[in-house]
Amino acid sequence: MIRVFFEKQGHLPAFVCDVCKKRIESGKGIYVYLPDEESSEVVTVCKGECDRKVKSQAGRTYWGEIPALLGFLIHNSGTTHEEVKSDMDFNDRVR
């Protein structure tokens, strides 16, 4: 899941583990989904105990690193990397 954390630096969206509910630190999480005919819910989980729990309960799953998921979302939204960078630069200026 994605949550927004309100910190001194501003409003910071981050991934949260759907199993333990803790913030997923950079490089320490994956996304998991079930193979389905049309669509599937995507969960984000910590690597290790949490991802093993989801995979064992669900049986057959597909998974990947969170940065790959972000790339897919950007591409599938029709947004360019330049637009993302521009929006991030704007958000940095208004914090």
**Residue 29: its pLDDT value, please?**
96
Q: CA gyration radius for the chain? A: 15
51: pLDDT strictly greater than 70: yes
Neighbours of 6 (CB within 10 A): 8
Q: Where are the domains of the chain?
A: 2-88
Tens-digit pLDDT profile for residues 27-50: 999 999 988 778 888 999 999 999
